[in-house]
A = this chain, B = another copy of it.
């Protein structure tokens, strides 16, 4: 899967994995890997800046904790983030329809 393809689709995916329960960065990476069937193996240089961006935008809120001697920054969805996620799911449907409408082979 080409790297560029992700552009603009990563944000809603991150929001989706923290929808049910707050998770820290590393756990988000693992969740994405697991939910994507091993396809979505994000480098840390992609994920961490994305999380900070989403927090700065008000879609996530974070909190530090220490578990087993390791520091974790745990992110949870804000109410703005919930709205954004819902919007993102809608956008995806539109996007998918557009792409498939164009990509579909025409025998005509």
Q: Which residues of A contact B (CB under 8 A)?
A: 1-9, 12-13, 16-17, 19-20, 32, 35-37, 39-40, 88-89, 91-92, 94-106, 108
Bound state CA distance, A108 and B17, in angstroms? Answer: 12
A86 to chain B: closest residue by CB: B105
15 A–B contact pairs at CB < 8 A? A2-B8, A2-B91, A4-B8, A5-B95, A19-B106, A35-B101, A36-B101, A36-B102, A37-B97, A39-B94, A39-B98, A40-B102, A89-B103, A92-B100, A92-B103
Q: Which of A12, A17, A99 has the most CB of B within 10 A?
A: A99
A94 to chain B: closest residue by CB: B1
